[in-house]
Amino acid sequence: MAAPTSAPCQGPNEVAALVLPVGLADARSSRPAASVIESGAMMERVGNVWRVRAGKAEEYARRHAEIWPELDALLRGAGVRSYSIYLWGEIVFSHMDVEDYDRLVQAFNGDPVAQRWEREMQELIEYPDADPATGWPERLRTVWSLSVARPADGGCSAAS
């Protein structure tokens, strides 16, 4: 097993990050995991993939131009620190940094706002390889991650 790595130096505007080995099974489930410790909090990095139904990509993008404030609050309250969704033709990819993915899924699946959002999205999307236990889209395996930006020479800058 590879040892965790950390940045050799930290400037005043850098966030210390400890990168843990990626591509290993999460201890709570068989899903692949990537984790990072940022600002003292363990975060899971999660990628998911699903599909937009034929001819529905523009409508999907339009509905995501501004999500409901109560859905935003639900995601943040469930430990999501960042969440981005990308569209490539009819393929949808999402990436999130979340404190505890399993806790997020449980909170989301049990919330009436989330259930209403999913009903509204149902006509636009399909989850071909959904997790049978949760109904969530397929979780991708991390194969590599660049977590801390470093100067091109790999060293620390003299200026602070």
Residue numbers annotated as active site: 64
**Other CB atoms within 10 Å distance of the CB of residue 8:** 10
What is the biggest distance separating any 2 CA atoms in the chain, rounded to whole angstroms?
55
Spatial distance between the Cα atoms of 98 and 54, rounded to a whole number of angstroms: 30
Alpha-carbon distances, residue 144 vs 19, 22, 54, 74, 92 (angstroms):
11, 7, 31, 29, 20
Identify whether the C-beta of residue 84 lies closer than 8 Å to the C-beta of residue 94: yes
Q: Indicate the burial class of 99 (C-beta count within 10 angstroms; 0-12, 13-18, 19 or more).
A: middle
Judged on CB neighbours under 10 Å (0-12, 13-18, 19+), 33 is buried
